[in-house]
Amino acid sequence: MPRRTLMLMLALWMGNLLPALDATMIGTALPTIVGALEGLHLYGWVFAAYLLTFTTSVPVCGKLADLYGRKPVFAVGIGVYMVASALSGLTQSIEQLILCRALVGIGLGAAVPVAMTIMGDAFSLEQRAKIQWVFASAWFLCSVVGPALGGAITLLFSWRLVFFVSMPLGVIATLLLFANYEERVERRPHSIDVFGAILLAAGVMAMLLALSPGGRGANLSLESSLLLLGLSAVLLAAFVWNEKRAPEPLLPLPLMLTPVVGISVLGSLLCGMVQFGASSYLPLFAQGAQGGTAAHAGAVLAPLTLGWPLGAGFGGRFLMAIGFRKSVLLGMMFAMVSQAGFLFISRDTPLPVMMASMFVLGLGFGFSNVGFMFAVQESVGWNQRGIATASLQFARSIGGSVGVAVMGALVTFSLAPFLATHDIGGQNVTSALLDPVARAALAPDALADLQLALADGLHLAFVLMAVVAGAAFLCALAFPAHVESRRSEEAVESKSMEQASIR
C-alpha cells in the first residue's frame, strides 16, 4: 500500500479517535469535574449541550463538505474542537463548561461525518471492506484505554489536563490529511440554504430540549415540554416546505426518498433508539433493580463497545461476499435476537448473560452500520456523499434521543402507582437505588419492593426496544437487493463535479 495512502488512513483513524476519547476519557472524569465546579444541579446539561449542537451541526457540515470540499470543513471542525477543549480545561464554572461542551459538539459534528465521507471518497468499496477493522479499532482501543487514562490523569494530576490530551491528535490528523489527501473542487457560486439550516437547527433543538435529560433536569413542566414539541413540529414542517423550494437544499428530499438512502436513514434511526436505550437502561437494571454496583453497570456496557468494532470489522469482510442487503439483514437479526433476550432478563439473571446480550447487540450494529454506510456512499455521487453520510449519523442521534425519552416516560409511568402507595423519604427513585448510602438506609422490604417496581418499569422499556428492533429488521427486508454504484459516473463527470482522489 502506498505511503500516502497509509498516512491518510492514519489521519482518518485519528479523526475517529477524537470522539472516542472524548466519550470515554472525559466521560470518566466528568463526575469529578462537575463536583469540583459545584455544578451537580446542572449535570444533565453538560451532556445535553453536546448532544444538541452535535446533532444539529452534523447535517449542516455534511452539506458544506459537498459544496466547498472536505478538507476545509474538517480543518474548521478540528479547530473548533481544539479551542473548545482548551477552554474546557480553563473553565471556572459549570455554566462555562456547558458552553464549552456545546462548542465541542459543533467541532465534532463537523469532523466526524466528514472523516467518514473522505473514507467513501478516497477508498474503493473493496478497500474499505478490507480496512474497516482499522477504523473500528479506534473505539475499541478507547473503550479499554480511555476510562483508565481519564481516571489516572484525574487522580494523579488534575482533571483539567484531560481536556488537553487529545489536542495534539487533532493537529497531527489535520496536517496528515492536508498533506496526503488531494481534492479538486470546482469553484462556483453556491446558494447556501441558510434559512433551511436555521429551521432544522431550531426544530431539532426544540425537540431535544423537550426530550433530553438536560430539559428534564431543568424541571420543565409537561405543558412546557408539549409546547416545545409543538414548536418543533411546526419548525420541521416549515423546513420540509423550504427544502422543496431551495435551489441547493440542505437535505435534498429526492435523495432522502431514494430506496437505498431512505431505508438506510430509517434503519439508522431505529438502531439509534435501540442503541441508546440499551446503553441507558440495561446498566440501570444491573445497578438499580439487581442491587449491583457501578462496576456492574460498567461491566454490562463494556461488551457493546467490544462487539461493535468486531462486527464492523467482520461486516466489511462479509459484505463483499454476501452483498449489502444480506449484511444489513444479518446485523438486524443479531439486534433482534439480542433484544428478544432482553425480554427474559429478570432480577435473578446472571451478569454474564446480560453481557452476552449486549455483545450480540454490538455485533449487530457493527454489521448493519457498515452495510448502511457503504451502500449509501456507493449509491450517490461526490457532490451528495457528504450529506448522505451525515444523514445516517443525524438519524441515529435523533432516534437515540427520542427513544431514551419515550422509554424514560414508560419507566416513570410504571413507577407512579408504587410511589403513590410507598414513602421513600421524598428521594428520587433511581437516586435511592444507585446511591449506596441511600440504598443502605432503606428498610429491606421497601428496598425489595422498590427494586421490583423498577425492574417492572424497565421491562416495559425492554419490550419497546424489542418492538423497535423488530421494526428495524422489517426495514432491512425492504432494502434493495441491488445497489447501483455511482463511481463510474463520477469518472465520466469529473470535469463538472467536485471530486476527490488520492495520488
Q: What is the pLDDT of residues 50-79, one digit of tens each?
A: 888 888 899 989 888 888 889 999 999 999
| Res. 498 pLDDT band, cuts 50 70 90 | very low
| Res. 500 pLDDT band, cuts 50 70 90 | very low
**pLDDT, tens digit, 9 for 90 and up, residues 32-44:** 787 788 776 676 6
Residues 128 and 374: beta-carbon distance below 8 Å: yes
Comparing CA positions, the residue from 120, 117, 131, 122 lying closest to residue 313 is 131
Residues 427 and 437: beta-carbon distance below 8 Å: no
pTM comes to: 0.84
* Model pLDDT, residue 503: 40
Q: Hey, what's the torsion of the CAs at 51, 56, 58, 61, to 10 degrees?
A: -140
pLDDT-wise least confident of 85-94, 201-210, 230-239, 410-419: 410-419
> Looking at per-residue confidence, does 24 or 7 come out higher?
7
* Model pLDDT, residue 218: 47
pLDDT-wise least confident of 14-28, 242-256, 456-470: 14-28
Do 1-189 and 260-401+464-481 agree at the fold level? Answer: yes
Q: How far apart are the first and last CA of the chain?
A: 12
Tell me which fold the domain 1-189 belongs to: Growth Hormone; Chain: A; (1.20.1250)
CB atoms within 10 A of CB 418: 17
Give the start-to-end residue ranges of the domains of the chain.
Answer: 1-189, 193-247, 260-401+464-481
| Res. 189 pLDDT band, cuts 50 70 90 | low
53-62, 189-198, 481-490, range with greatest mean pLDDT: 53-62
The architecture CATH gives domain 260-401+464-481:
Up-down Bundle (1.20)
Q: Does pLDDT of 28 surpass 90?
A: no
Mean pLDDT, rounded, of the chain? 83
Residues 315 and 364: beta-carbon distance below 8 Å: no
